Structure 1
Amino acid sequence: MKPILFALPGNEAMGAELCRLRGWEAGDWEVRSFPDGETHIRYLSEVAGREVILVCSLDRPNARVVPLYLAAGVARELGARRIGLVVPYLAYMRQDARFHSGEGVTARHFAGLLGRAGDWLVTVDPHLHRIHRLDEIYGIPSRVVAAAPAIAAWVVEHVGQPLLIGPDEESEQWVAQVAAAADCPYTVLRKVRRGDRDVSVSAPELAGWRERTPVLVDDIASTARTLIAAVGRLREAGMPPPVCVAVHPLFVGEAYAELLAAGVAEVACTDTIAHRCSRIGMAAAIGDAADALSACCDGVGI
């Protein structure tokens, strides 16, 4: 029997596209909040004996995690055979080490929470730094979907003569993958961060690249301070207005408007988070990974 999918609020477009591409059943349910803010989950479709797939991107995670956790728990209580978590943006990967006394490695605690909710997990390009693989902290089977092929295809189709640029050293892993897939050159800027909103960047010599269109590529656009600083540095170097591409468009507060005001040609991000700039579809790759992981859990192809 094919899986039945339920999309948490805000994830309806991704859920519908996954069902269209994979032929999964779109489940019917009610998700609402009581007056005191508690979440109420009611499944209207039968889930007993079914593989239930829950789709929930975890931007603004503190408001989204409890509904996701309860949705998984209720489905299991009602007899679901297995619960898969499709989490296009996976939160709580930032605190992957103890940086100061009194802190904890919250990435591990969060992984324990999601691991108790689901039986498998699919996500897109989590912020892996000191933790190198999800299975270092997640005890359930997981798959990481790379956004680089989809981003590269978009760049090839929409940008003439691109020069891919990483706004900081950490972005090089994504920029290098996109550049290889798009068959174009890349370089990386150097970042100095003095606070969450105080960032400066330095650039290598760019005079030889002025005939190309700069394409800034980053994994997460949150406050957008790094991208904004990079845009300013490129304009100072005489480069044309850059195209900005991010895997996960968080854009906290006025960050998106501030990035546009910095003088960019265009902003294009994947649809791991629903946003007006989400133009690069990830559903096909996510669906492939989810089907493969589900088959492995059934013992097929192991």
Structure 2
Amino acid sequence: MTAPAVGLDSQRVLIAMPGCEAATMRLATPLSAELGHAAVSHFPDGESYVRLCTPVHGAEVAIVCTLDHPDEKLLPLLWLAIAAREGGARRVGLIAPYLPYMRQDVIFKAGEIRAAEHFAALLNPVFDWLVTVDPHLHRISHLSNVYCIPTAAVEAAPAIAAWIQTHVQAPFLIGPDEESRQWVAHVAGICQAPWAALTKTRHSAWHVEIAELPNIPTQSVPVLVDDIISTGRTMLAAADLLRRAGQPKPVCVGVHAVFADNAYSQLCAASAEVVTCDTIPHPSNQIALTEPLVDAISRIFDLPMPSSKQMLV
């Protein structure tokens, strides 16, 4: 069935990549945007096929694609952005609640690459702007260090803090490693709760060790807070340390529910509850970020056509 044409009074069109339909629908109404339609599939030989079904000439277009499993999503995403551009879109933006490759931000061994900047180099030429949620900014201090298009990074901390205040009595927030310090400190500041960050030694993606715990007040509920839960090994090591110290099972809170292999089931067994934001669709999603995403997207939609690269702060 042919999708309806963009109306004369329509300025914004949101297009969902496969798997992002629900998120796109949540954003469309508050953004006063039309839901666009695209076909994304593969030929028998594995090559990606896209077809933009909604006319977008003169429209502000945004593609919604959370980029977990990025290698399989990237090429169709690029093709769809090019289709929108060739279709006459005024601008083509990317709404990527989870932005990958940001942890590959430094070269540790000869022959490696700083993949974060090279991934950005693939997106920069085809998109006019980017909105994401809590990109892993550690050794890269700001997205402008690698992205030369306007960007907005939504903070999940206020929504996480609100969830903790509603669901956890007497929380003691714990960042399971030094890289989590920035997130746990921000959330704890909003909650006005005590907090600490642990020290981790990573031997491999699947083997980490964590130093001793801080003193946790009696009757407090430990809450582990991190941005990305991937293998879950960092949180599992922290949960095990709490168990051996006679502490109750922690509540585990993450921004991005990556959950490689059986990480989720293992973490559920080791914790009182596992909760994530809705940046990646997952059964653990309990913290909605639609409202702050809409605010950030609205601001970037309203930017004038730039004469040069810009950055939102």
- Counterpart code for 2:291: A
Preserved CA contact (<8 Å) 2:252 2:273: yes
The whole-number CA distance in structure 1 between the counterparts of 2:109 and 2:180 is 24
State, as a whole percentage, how many aligned pairs show the same letter. 47
The whole-number CA distance in structure 2 between the counterparts of 1:20 and 1:241 is 40
1:44-63 paired onto structure 2 within 5 Å = 44-63=53-72
Preserved CA contact (<8 Å) 1:188 1:203: no
Preserved CA contact (<8 Å) 2:278 2:289: yes
The whole-number CA distance in structure 2 between the counterparts of 1:113 and 1:87 is 14
1:185 equivalent in structure 2: 194
* More displaced 10-residue stretch of structure 1: 94-103 or 132-141: 94-103
Match of 2:163 among 129, 154, 177: 154
Deviations 1:247-294 (A, max 9, x none): 1110001111111122x1101000111111011111211111111012
Residues 1:171 and 2:216 are matched in the alignment: no
Q: Residue 298 of structure 1: CA displacement?
A: 4.2
Residues 1:215 and 2:223 are matched in the alignment: yes
The whole-number CA distance in structure 2 between the counterparts of 1:297 and 1:259 is 46
SS at match of 2:92: strand
Q: Which runs of 5+ in 1 are unaligned?
A: none
The whole-number CA distance in structure 2 between the counterparts of 1:179 and 1:283 is 22
The whole-number CA distance in structure 1 between the counterparts of 2:66 and 2:208 is 27
1:111-126 paired onto structure 2 within 5 Å = 111-126=120-135
SS at match of 2:123: helix
The whole-number CA distance in structure 1 between the counterparts of 2:165 and 2:151 is 30
SS at match of 1:256: helix
- Counterpart code for 2:300: L
Residues 1:288 and 2:300 are matched in the alignment: no
The whole-number CA distance in structure 2 between the counterparts of 1:288 and 1:36 is 41
Q: Which runs of 5+ in 2 are unaligned?
A: 1-9, 307-311
Aligned length: 299
1:104-143 paired onto structure 2 within 5 Å = 104-143=113-152
SS at match of 1:152: helix
* More displaced 10-residue stretch of structure 1: 16-25 or 76-85: 16-25
1:277 equivalent in structure 2: 284
Preserved CA contact (<8 Å) 1:224 1:255: yes
Match of 1:267 among 270, 274, 278: 274
Q: Residue 94 of structure 1: CA displacement?
A: 1.7
Preserved CA contact (<8 Å) 1:192 1:200: yes
The whole-number CA distance in structure 2 between the counterparts of 1:278 and 1:41 is 29
Preserved CA contact (<8 Å) 1:161 1:212: yes
Match of 1:242 among 243, 250, 253: 250
The whole-number CA distance in structure 1 between the counterparts of 2:162 and 2:34 is 29
Q: Which has the higher helix share?
A: 1
Deviations 1:134-181 (A, max 9, x none): 001101010111110110011111111111111011101000100111
The whole-number CA distance in structure 1 between the counterparts of 2:190 and 2:284 is 22
SS at match of 2:302: helix
1:23-62 paired onto structure 2 within 5 Å = 23-62=32-71
* More displaced 10-residue stretch of structure 1: 33-42 or 176-185: 33-42
Please report the RMSD computed on the Cα atoms of aligned residues, expressed in angstroms: 1.6
The whole-number CA distance in structure 1 between the counterparts of 2:285 and 2:101 is 22
- Counterpart code for 1:259: L
Residues 1:257 and 2:265 are matched in the alignment: yes
The whole-number CA distance in structure 1 between the counterparts of 2:226 and 2:157 is 11
The whole-number CA distance in structure 1 between the counterparts of 2:11 and 2:246 is 55
Report the TM-score, using the length of structure 1 for normalisation. 0.95
Preserved CA contact (<8 Å) 2:213 2:241: no
Q: Residue 45 of structure 1: CA displacement?
A: 1.4
1:95 equivalent in structure 2: 104
